[in-house]
Amino acid sequence: MTVHFTASPTSAGALCTLSSDKGTLPFSVTLYIPNNLAVAVNYPVVTSTTSATVDYYQADSGVMNIPSCQFGISSIVGVNNNCFITSHPSSSNDIVVNWNR
């Protein structure tokens, strides 16, 4: 999936905000059929279309309680919205990036 980010109006407290265009990502399941040919059959299951916003913050700007992203199959498996895509800040001088979809 390829998306392009452009500068957008800054979110409250952010140093910079970037918003993406819409991107589409197909999700497929691959089944391996045991036989002498070892055939792999790819079944399309769903297509996800979304856009995202990333905000850059100074770590001391009240964002310390945001969790780190843990992208998984679903929101049940991992944290994939309103989360840091950078490592969690270790000092108030750190710049952190918050992912929102």
Reduce the secondary structure of 44-57 to three states and give it as a string: EEEEEEECCEEEEE
Q: What is the pLDDT of residues 21-56, one digit of tens each?
A: 988 877 777 776 666 665 666 777 888 788 889 899
In three-state secondary structure terms, 8 is: coil
Residue 76 and residue 66 in contact, taking contact as beta carbons nearer than 8 Å: no
Q: Are 57 and 15 in contact (CB under 8 A)?
A: yes
Asked whether residue 84 carries a pLDDT value surpassing 60, the answer given is yes
Which has the closest alpha carbon to 53: 12, 15, 100, 11?
Answer: 100
What pLDDT score does 15 carry?
Answer: 92
Give the global pTM. Answer: 0.65
Contact 81, 51 (CB under 8 A): no
Q: E-strand spans in 4-94?
A: 5-7, 16-20, 23-33, 39-50, 53-58, 83-84
The pLDDT of residue 24: 81
| Residue bearing the bigger pLDDT, 24 or 63 | 24
In this predicted structure, what is the pLDDT of residue 45? 80
